[in-house]
Amino acid sequence: MNLTDDMATAHDHADHGPAKGLKRWLFTTNHKDIGTLYLLLSLTMFFVAGIMALVVRIELFEPGKVWVTPEFFNQMTTLHGLIMVFGVIMPAMAGFANWMIPMMVGAPDMALPRLNNWSFWLLPFAFLLLSLPLLRELVGMASHLIGLNLFAGAGAAPDYGWTFYAPLSTTYGPDSTDYMIFAIHMMGISSILAAINIVVTIFNMRAPGMTWMRLPMFVWGWLVTAFLLLAVMPVLAGCVTMMLMDRHFHTAFFEAAGGGDPILFQHIFWFFGHPEVYILILPGFGIISEVVQTFSRKRLFGYSFMVAATITIAFLGYIVWMHHMFTTGAPYAAQLFFMYATMLIAVPTGVKVFNWVTTIFKGELTFETPMLFALGFLVMFTIGGFSGVMLAIAPADYQYRGSYFVVAHFHYVLVSGSLFAIFAGVYFWLPKWTGHMYNETLGKWHFWLSAISMNLTFFPMHFVGLAGMPRRIPDYALQFTNFNQIATVGAVIFGLSQLLFLAIVIRSCQKHKAGVNEHLPDNVWDGGRSLEWTRLPTPVPYHTFETVPEIGPNDTH
């Protein structure tokens, strides 16, 4: 074993920069490297799942069959959802956590750096496993064109929607379901280890003087998110384990014939699934808090209320899962409880939105790209929040359930919510990471194109949904055609505008790699208050805070 060699080099390791070549990325224990890996994985999967969304949208351009079979359509909606949730939003947020949390709390790295590497490197293998059935299918189709018949009997990719309800995924699930189950096990391990690392870093690695109520909001957002992950990812692992047993070992968890119940699947899934939506948005709330206060050149309004609101949202998030199941025949008392508990979440969320608005009030505002995305978030996430309150009302939900209204709702909170927060974060911190200022004009184009096309895509879905168009169906009634065509045009524009984002990010990374030094100030945006702006040079060196900083009251928000 080469461990002794490793130890011999341990001492001079710190004085060097990163290792050379591929080994740097495979074996790294550096939080910035791992953060970059997470963000790159997220960016890649963003385009993969984005193409799937376009396949769906193009199929829905007209009623009837446009170009793909209904079976393939189902696989696209399923994998689009699974990959966007687990492969894009979550890794991107974890990338920010890795980059920023150690710097924001004044630590040299994450608390458990080797485990941190594993948290990341589980993910590419998990997504390989998840995508294998689809890859097999695509290779099969291509080989069919040239007269070969590869993987003829291989079966379909997962095709039951991202929520993989039993019995669609158990009794009727294709073979590929087992790949998905194991992929989710691996993602679960990755998320749990990452969450442990983040909790421990925030608990244990804060620099002296970095008290709880001096933590930047982004750190608070992630701390609460990590607790959500620790509590619900194991439940999801249990859920897919039950599926596996039902599929292959004749257990009866989701089989009424044996005394179980398919509704049990929905309870367990949504006990994970509802906190999951806060896992996707709370780190985004943190990013938005940082961006809004920086570009308003003010302290965040009502900091302690923001902290309390984050914790309240997470707590309420645990006890509302049945609002996804109002039409399963739940007792009325349960429906009432879950309806009121769900609507209660609007209170702490409203506290957050009003505090952001109040932070902006009378600020010395400037409108660079991160701020534009943050403002877009404020407006459009709030729209998604309102349609959420509509969906929370049990009797109204009987009507909205399973319609495109639901699709509109969760894309407003996920695209103009989580994804816009991620964009805001990338534009906000990219100059700090690379030492290169991105092209502001292109950035603004990216924002306006995204914001307009996003609304073009998802706003009409409210109307067709309320009028009765069901989700997850590759065909629809004639009268929905106009709105669907608008949505498809919007989706294609949205997809193409993301190439701008890709170009902007690649340009920054190229300049960084070429060693171009633009001599950006340490506090790039001039209003930054957290440690990465006030205590560290731009671009940030490979190792930061190797000597412990002392944090005073003036150091933070």
Partner 1 sequence: MAHGTYYLPQPSNWPLKGSIALFLTTFGGANWLHHSTFFGLEFGPYLFVLGLAMVFYMMFGWFGTVIRENRAGLLSDKQVDHSFRWGMAWFIFSEVMFFGAFFAALFYARLISVPVLSGEQAHYYLTHLIFWPDFKDQWPILANPNPAAFIAPKSVMEAWGIPAVNTLILLSSGATITVAHWALLKDKRPLMLVAQSITILLGIIFLSMQAREYTIAYMEKGLTLASGIYGTTFFMLTGFHALHVTIGTIGLCVILYRMFRRDFSPTNHFAFEAIAWYWHFVDVVWLFLFILVYWL
Residues with active-site annotation: 80, 109, 162, 190-191, 274, 276, 278, 289, 323-324, 349, 352, 471
Contact 83, 172 (CB under 8 A): no
Contact 447, 501 (CB under 8 A): no
Contact 348, 221 (CB under 8 A): no
| Residue 21 lies near partner 1 (rule: CB under 8 A) | no
Q: How far is the CB of 227 from partner 1 (least distance, A)?
A: 9
| Residue 129 lies near partner 1 (rule: CB under 8 A) | yes
Question: In whole angstroms, what is the distance from residue 531 CA to residue 373 CA?
Answer: 23
| Residue 182 lies near partner 1 (rule: CB under 8 A) | yes
Q: How far is the CB of 249 from partner 1 (least distance, A)?
A: 5
Tell which positions 29-58 bind partner 1, by CB under 8 A. Answer: 29
Tell which positions 242-261 bind partner 1, by CB under 8 A. Answer: 242, 245, 248-253, 255-261
User: Which of 240, 122, 238 minimizes the C-alpha distance to 190?
Assistant: 122
178, 244, 245, 454, 556 from 175: Cα distances, Å: 6, 11, 14, 35, 53
Kind plus residue range of the DSSP H or E element containing 108: none
Instruction: Select from 9, 304, 441, 554 the one that contacts partner 1 (CB under 8 A).
Output: 9
The residues, any chain, with a CB within 8 Å of residue 93's CB and separated by 6 or more, are 222, 225, 280, 283, 284, 418, 422
Question: In whole angstroms, what is the distance from residue 428 CA to residue 410 CA?
Answer: 25
| Residue 11 lies near partner 1 (rule: CB under 8 A) | yes
Tell which positions 225-244 bind partner 1, by CB under 8 A. Answer: 230-235, 237-239, 242
DSSP for 507-539 reads HHHHHHHTT------SSTTS---SHHHHTS-SS
Task: Using the minimum distance from each CB to partner 1, give the nearer residue, 336 or 496.
Answer: 336
The residues, any chain, with a CB within 8 Å of residue 127's CB and separated by 6 or more, are 41, 45, 83, 87, 183
Tell which positions 427-486 bind partner 1, by CB under 8 A. Answer: none
Q: How far is the CB of 148 from partner 1 (least distance, A)?
A: 16
Tokens of residue 62, six digits: 């007209």
Question: In whole angstroms, what is the distance from residue 193 CA to residue 230 CA?
Answer: 9
Task: Using the minimum distance from each CB to partner 1, give the nearer residue, 108 or 465.
Answer: 108
| Residue 167 lies near partner 1 (rule: CB under 8 A) | no
Question: In whole angstroms, what is the distance from residue 538 CA to residue 101 CA?
Answer: 17
| Residue 547 lies near partner 1 (rule: CB under 8 A) | yes
Task: Using the minimum distance from each CB to partner 1, give the nearer residue, 242 or 392.
Answer: 242
| Residue 13 lies near partner 1 (rule: CB under 8 A) | yes
Count of residues interacting with partner 1 (CB under 8 A): 88
User: Which of 320, 333, 472 minimizes the C-alpha distance to 392?
Assistant: 320
Tokens of residue 292, six digits: 């809004």
Q: How far is the CB of 531 from partner 1 (least distance, A)?
A: 16
4: exposed, middle or buried (Cβ count in 10 Å: 0-12, 13-18, 19+): exposed
Instruction: Select from 21, 147, 329, 553 the one that contacts partner 1 (CB under 8 A).
Output: 329
Q: How far is the CB of 239 from partner 1 (least distance, A)?
A: 6
Q: How far is the CB of 255 from partner 1 (least distance, A)?
A: 7
Instruction: Select from 185, 352, 409, 411 the one that contacts partner 1 (CB under 8 A).
Output: 185
Tell which positions 359-398 bind partner 1, by CB under 8 A. Answer: none
Instruction: Select from 37, 103, 268, 322 the one that contacts partner 1 (CB under 8 A).
Output: 268
Task: Using the minimum distance from each CB to partner 1, give the nearer residue, 330 or 390.
Answer: 330
Which x/- pattern over 501-540 shows residues binding partner 1 (rule: CB under 8 A)?
----------------------------------------
Q: What is the DSSP letter of 474?
A: S
Which x/- pattern over 81-120 shows residues binding partner 1 (rule: CB under 8 A)?
--------------------------xxx-xxxxx-xx--
Q: Spell out the long-range contacts of 495-500 with Cβ–Cβ below 8 A and sequence spacing 24 or more.
A: 495/50, 495/51, 495/53, 495/54, 497/445, 497/446, 497/449, 497/450, 497/453, 498/46, 498/47, 498/50, 498/446, 498/450, 500/442, 500/445, 500/446, 500/449
Q: How far is the CB of 329 from partner 1 (least distance, A)?
A: 7
Task: Using the minimum distance from each CB to partner 1, give the nearer residue, 65 or 248.
Answer: 248
Q: How far is the CB of 123 from partner 1 (least distance, A)?
A: 9
Task: Using the minimum distance from each CB to partner 1, give the nearer residue, 176 or 355.
Answer: 176
Task: Using the minimum distance from each CB to partner 1, give the nearer residue, 154 or 343.
Answer: 154
Q: How far is the CB of 181 from partner 1 (least distance, A)?
A: 8
| Residue 135 lies near partner 1 (rule: CB under 8 A) | no
Question: In whole angstroms, what is the distance from residue 406 CA to residue 76 CA?
Answer: 18
Q: Report the amino acid identity of residue 6.
A: D
Q: How far is the CB of 200 from partner 1 (least distance, A)?
A: 4
Task: Using the minimum distance from each CB to partner 1, give the nearer residue, 40 or 66.
Answer: 40
Residue 426 Cα to chain centre, angstroms: 14
Task: Using the minimum distance from each CB to partner 1, give the nearer residue, 20 or 362.
Answer: 20
Q: Is the dihedral of CA 249, 254, 259, 264 positive or negative?
A: positive
Question: In whole angstroms, what is the distance from residue 205 CA to residue 262 CA?
Answer: 44
Instruction: Select from 51, 546, 550, 552 the one that contacts partner 1 (CB under 8 A).
Output: 546
Task: Using the minimum distance from each CB to partner 1, give the nearer residue, 11 or 519.
Answer: 11
| Residue 299 lies near partner 1 (rule: CB under 8 A) | no
Contact 415, 278 (CB under 8 A): no
Question: Which residue stretch of 42-50, 179-187, 318-326, 353-361 sits at the interface with partner 1 (rule: CB under 8 A)?
Answer: 179-187
Contact 426, 500 (CB under 8 A): no
Tell which positions 188-217 bind partner 1, by CB under 8 A. Answer: 189, 192, 195-197, 199-200, 203-205
Which x/- pattern over 330-349 shows residues binding partner 1 (rule: CB under 8 A)?
-x------------------
